[in-house]
Structure 1
Amino acid sequence: MQNSGKRWFIAVMATLVHLCLGTVYAWSFFQKTVSETFGWSNSETAWAFSLAIFMLGVTASWGGQNLQKFGPRKLALIGAFLYAFGYIISYFALQNESLWLLYFGYGIVGGIGLGLAYVTPVATVSKWFPDKQGLITGMVVMGFGLGALLMSKLLAPIFLEYFEKDLAKTFLAIGITLLVLLPFFANFLNLPTEEKSTEISAEKLSATKEILSLNFIFIWLIFMFNVVAGMIFISFQSPLLQDLLKAENVNIDTATLEKSGATLIAISALFNGLGRFFWGSISDKLGRVTTFRLLLLIEMGVFASLIFIKSPILFSVGVCLILLNYGGGFGVLPSLIKDFFGTKLMPIVYGAALTAWGVGGILGPQITAYMKDHFSEDAGLYAYKVALVLIALGIGLSFFVKNKKEAQ
């Protein structure tokens, strides 16, 4: 029964899947505490998050190619279990102070789970809502952006308080919670009957040709630069804010610093989530490439301003604006891919485009981590300058994208 009620129910379930997966975006909540507790450098600690995002991008590409073969429910369920197990393995890693086990659990196992479970809700609702592409894909990926709010203001604080700041037990409790919630939501994902195609090989061949085109390469680079810009803050917004607060008030206590960092993560998560919905809807009116160009221009202005800003409040405003536009990139991308490469190729090409997320997920956190380890007081300043250069390149490349289906 493919009625309107059913497709909206599937859209809600897809959004809840993304809400749970998006808890990975609260990594900066743990970054400083994990680094200081176990004596690992910022760069060493951040690699757990970088690996998770890299594996997400790579696995999402594979998932997009095999969505019709295995079906969204099976891929989403496997991904849900793996992401939850990533936290459970991380419990053993932190319990035994093993950085490499943390990389394996949170980074590789959890990242693979993220990739399998991420691509399926977006591709699924895209097929259920051919009439509301920007709106519906923006709504679903909005859930992912809001995941950091769920983690930073609910799951992590509750479990940290209950287990008296024991990080290992907190990760275990989070893993068990996700093990219950994620499979339940993922179980409802399925494609419309008419979309269960058997011409998979031909579609893969055609998609490969498109993926090797200059158009796709330019889109991939633009999206990757936008990811780097957002990851600079997603991975380190809490430590960067705490640095500014300490510079303003050297006597501020640790608990206040941590609470302020968690609050910024939660608020910026709202902007990240709303940006996906807002810019996705705007792109239905302005066009996909024009929208991407506009949000990159806004990011450029914010990063240029942040170079001169020392106020924690203005810094927080800047973070929220960057994540509004970072999320916007994810809200626009699915519709852009569908407009450029067609409905049938959308899952495969979209999955390939998400490898840019994986690359940006390494570059963004590692740029900031390197600056924190080597230029502690001016870490943000140098990171913002790198972001400015990359965003400027993205804006330039946007003028070389040749849209096949909409006027520029």
Structure 2
Amino acid sequence: MTTLDASGMPARSLLPFLDREHTIARLGYSRWMVPPAALCVHLCIGQAYAFSVFNLPMTKLIGITQSAPGDWKLTELGWIFSIAMVFLGLSAAVFGRWVEEGGPRKAMFTAGVAWASAFLISALGVYLHNLWIIFLGYGVIGGCALGIGYISPVSTLMKWFPDRPGMATGMAIMGFGGGALIASPLSVWLMSKFATTSDVGVLGTFITLGCVYFVFMMVGSAIVRVPAPGWKPEGYVPPAAATKLMTRNDVFVYQAVKTPQFWLIWIVLFCNTTAGIGVLGQASAMSQEMFPGHITAVAAAGLVGLMSLFNMGGRFSWASLSDFIGRKNTYFVYMVLGISLYVTVPYAGASGNVVLFVLCFLIIVSMYGGGFSTVPAYLRDMFGTRYVGAIHGILLTAWSMAGIAGPVLINYIREYNVTHGVPKAQAYNTTMYIMAGLLVVGFLANLGVRAVDKRHHMKDEDSSGLEPARAA
């Protein structure tokens, strides 16, 4: 869509090299350059999963060696991540169409500037010891960077890899799951280098991370390209007609949200994410309390690291598998296998079977990651490629809701059980059964997904930028 100025002429961009028309690939450009470009962004914003490494040090900004009067509490700091997750979903929904029409370079550049700013503003909040500045920096601005950066390469990757859309999005989105593997030890190391007798090292670490992430995200925005109109991979022959749930037609973004298919997939993602994110966020404490004396703090930390690997690997492997068995069938696997695993966790705890417990958690978290990387291709199958990035952005509000629901279910049910005399080793059992019940709801929602009715398909585009006309 071309923006016109008051005289009716095409408007000039302040930074024309960011415009979509300046990112069209020339002859000879390799589509395999796009996944690394996406990874440059996703590995950086994936730091969000490692933000918890700052929580304890930030409770000692005044006391240095221990919390002192005036220091922040962990409960207060916990809101930083929650705010960021909320604004991730909101920004993805609000800016999804802008990301789609403006192109990946403009979106990646914007996300890079916002992500770097989030750390620099948060550093100011640490320096002034003002938590509200950090809420604004990392929570609001950082959350917007997460949302815009997360969806920026999605539709571009699927246009470059129409033959393997699941694998393509899996390659990029696995970076979001794996970003914590880099950010966690890097952040701890940086804090140790910046720490002094009067400084825990958070301030210098925030500034350094902001600068480093800015450089890498700018590299990603510089090398990304969109395919030329009509481009197809060598030897690729599009299906002559729609097959099963895969359509060759496009659905306008705001028309898509009016379809039952969109909301059924929203429920599927919400259920899968709520179940997984609760486990991912409390894996360390849960494992130690369910196996006291068997799983130490060090072993629990190792489990969290191993889960990060499975979270990352699941995003690529499950999404790649969906190219062969279909997106709907892949989510059936997530739900059926997930129900079995959640029901098995209490048994593993009661029997003292650490190996079974760890195996359950690793598979669960792999499907949690797989759910994120499979859903863009699911949307592409249902609504076409034209507005899939914008539709995906709105769908990510399910992630925002799950980011609140999952931890709340885990934490408050555990607290209620412990308060009423339930041993800590059994305090999570009720939650595991509730998570299994959520996946039953997700299974039923996925079962109801059908091909989108042709009346929702776009017929032609309105150059004014309003909703395109649809087939009668």
Given the two structures, how large is their TM-score scaled by the length of structure 1?
A: 0.85
**Which residue of structure 2 lines up, in the alignment, with residue 40 of structure 1?**
73
> Where does structure 2 lack aligned partners over 5 or more consecutive residues?
1-24, 61-66, 232-248, 419-423, 454-472
- SS of residue matched to 2:451: coil
Question: Structure 1 residue 159 and structure 2 residue 183: aligned?
Answer: no
Question: Per-residue deviation at 1:195?
Answer: 7.9
Equivalent pair of 1:20/1:182 in contact (CA under 8 Å) = yes
- Return the alpha-carbon distance in structure 2 between the equivalents of residues 317 and 134 of structure 1: 25
Counterpart pick for 1:389 among 423, 433, 437: 437
- Return the alpha-carbon distance in structure 1 between the equivalents of residues 304 and 213 of structure 2: 20
- Return the alpha-carbon distance in structure 2 between the equivalents of residues 342 and 205 of structure 1: 6
- Return the alpha-carbon distance in structure 2 between the equivalents of residues 315 and 346 of structure 1: 37
- Return the alpha-carbon distance in structure 1 between the equivalents of residues 205 and 359 of structure 2: 30
Q: Which amino acid aligns with 1:392?
A: V
Question: Per-residue deviation at 1:80?
Answer: 1.5
Spell out, residue by residue over 1:14-68, the C-alpha distance to the aligned partner (whole angstroms, 9 max, x if none).
Answer: 12321111121224444566568545254x4332212212211221123321124
- SS of residue matched to 2:252: helix
- SS of residue matched to 2:401: helix
Equivalent pair of 2:147/2:393 in contact (CA under 8 Å) = no
**Which residue of structure 1 lines up, in the alignment, with residue 340 of structure 2?**
301
| Structure 2 counterparts to residues 114-153 of structure 1, below 5 A | 114-152=146-184
Spell out, residue by residue over 1:146-170, the C-alpha distance to the aligned partner (whole angstroms, 9 max, x if none).
Answer: 1121122x31231132234534443
Equivalent pair of 1:293/1:398 in contact (CA under 8 Å) = yes
Question: Per-residue deviation at 1:374?
Answer: 5.2
Question: Structure 1 residue 81 and structure 2 residue 110: aligned?
Answer: no
* Structure 1 residues 382 and 334: CA distance shift in structure 2, 3 A: same
* Structure 1 residues 23 and 65: CA distance shift in structure 2, 3 A: same
Q: Which amino acid aligns with 1:323?
A: V
- SS of residue matched to 1:171: helix
Spell out, residue by residue over 1:202-240, the C-alpha distance to the aligned partner (whole angstroms, 9 max, x if none).
Answer: x99832122111111110011011111221133333343
Question: Structure 1 residue 16 and structure 2 residue 55: aligned?
Answer: no
Question: Structure 1 residue 69 and structure 2 residue 93: aligned?
Answer: no
Tell me how many residue pairs correspond in the alignment.
Answer: 390
Spell out, residue by residue over 1:244-289, the C-alpha distance to the aligned partner (whole angstroms, 9 max, x if none).
Answer: 56x3179x6xxxx3x5454333221211111111111111111111
Question: Structure 1 residue 170 and structure 2 residue 199: aligned?
Answer: no
Given the two structures, how large is their TM-score scaled by the length of structure 2?
A: 0.75
* Structure 1 residues 105 and 238: CA distance shift in structure 2, 3 A: farther
* Structure 1 residues 81 and 374: CA distance shift in structure 2, 3 A: farther
Tell which structure's C-alpha radius of gyration is larger. 2
- SS of residue matched to 1:193: coil
* Structure 1 residues 143 and 365: CA distance shift in structure 2, 3 A: same
- Return the alpha-carbon distance in structure 1 between the equivalents of residues 230 and 58 of structure 2: 45
More contact order relative to length (CA 8 Å, sep ≥ 6):
1
| Structure 2 counterparts to residues 111-260 of structure 1, below 5 A | 111-152=143-184, 154-164=185-195, 165-194=200-229, 206-244=252-290, 247-248=292-293, 257=297, 259-260=298-299
- Return the alpha-carbon distance in structure 2 between the equivalents of residues 218 and 400 of structure 1: 7
Q: Which amino acid aligns with 2:153?
A: P
- SS of residue matched to 2:229: helix
Equivalent pair of 2:343/2:432 in contact (CA under 8 Å) = yes
Question: Per-residue deviation at 1:111?
Answer: 0.5
Equivalent pair of 1:49/1:235 in contact (CA under 8 Å) = no
Q: Which amino acid aligns with 2:293?
A: E
| Structure 2 counterparts to residues 94-105 of structure 1, below 5 A | 94-105=126-137
Spell out, residue by residue over 1:171-228, the C-alpha distance to the aligned partner (whole angstroms, 9 max, x if none).
Answer: 33322321222222222223223289xxxxxx99832122111111110011011111
Question: Structure 1 residue 337 and structure 2 residue 379: aligned?
Answer: yes
**Which residue of structure 2 lines up, in the alignment, with residue 90 of structure 1?**
122
Higher alpha-carbon deviation: 373-382 or 228-237: 373-382
Equivalent pair of 2:56/2:74 in contact (CA under 8 Å) = no
Counterpart pick for 2:314 among 275, 286, 290: 275
**Which residue of structure 2 lines up, in the alignment, with residue 200 of structure 1?**
none
- Return the alpha-carbon distance in structure 2 between the equivalents of residues 387 and 356 of structure 1: 16
Equivalent pair of 2:100/2:387 in contact (CA under 8 Å) = no
* Structure 1 residues 373 and 159: CA distance shift in structure 2, 3 A: farther
| Structure 2 counterparts to residues 365-376 of structure 1, below 5 A | 365-371=407-413
* Structure 1 residues 87 and 337: CA distance shift in structure 2, 3 A: same
- Return the alpha-carbon distance in structure 2 between the equivalents of residues 134 and 105 of structure 1: 33
- SS of residue matched to 1:25: helix
- Return the alpha-carbon distance in structure 1 between the equivalents of residues 427 and 209 of structure 2: 31
- SS of residue matched to 2:450: coil
More helix by share: 1
- Return the alpha-carbon distance in structure 1 between the equivalents of residues 153 and 225 of structure 2: 9
**Which residue of structure 2 lines up, in the alignment, with residue 354 of structure 1?**
396
Equivalent pair of 1:27/1:234 in contact (CA under 8 Å) = no
Counterpart pick for 1:326 among 330, 346, 368: 368
- Return the alpha-carbon distance in structure 2 between the equivalents of residues 195 and 108 of structure 1: 39
Question: Identical aligned pairs, as a percentage?
Answer: 29
Question: Per-residue deviation at 1:79?
Answer: 0.9
* Structure 1 residues 236 and 81: CA distance shift in structure 2, 3 A: farther
Equivalent pair of 1:210/1:341 in contact (CA under 8 Å) = yes
Q: Which amino acid aligns with 2:444?
A: G
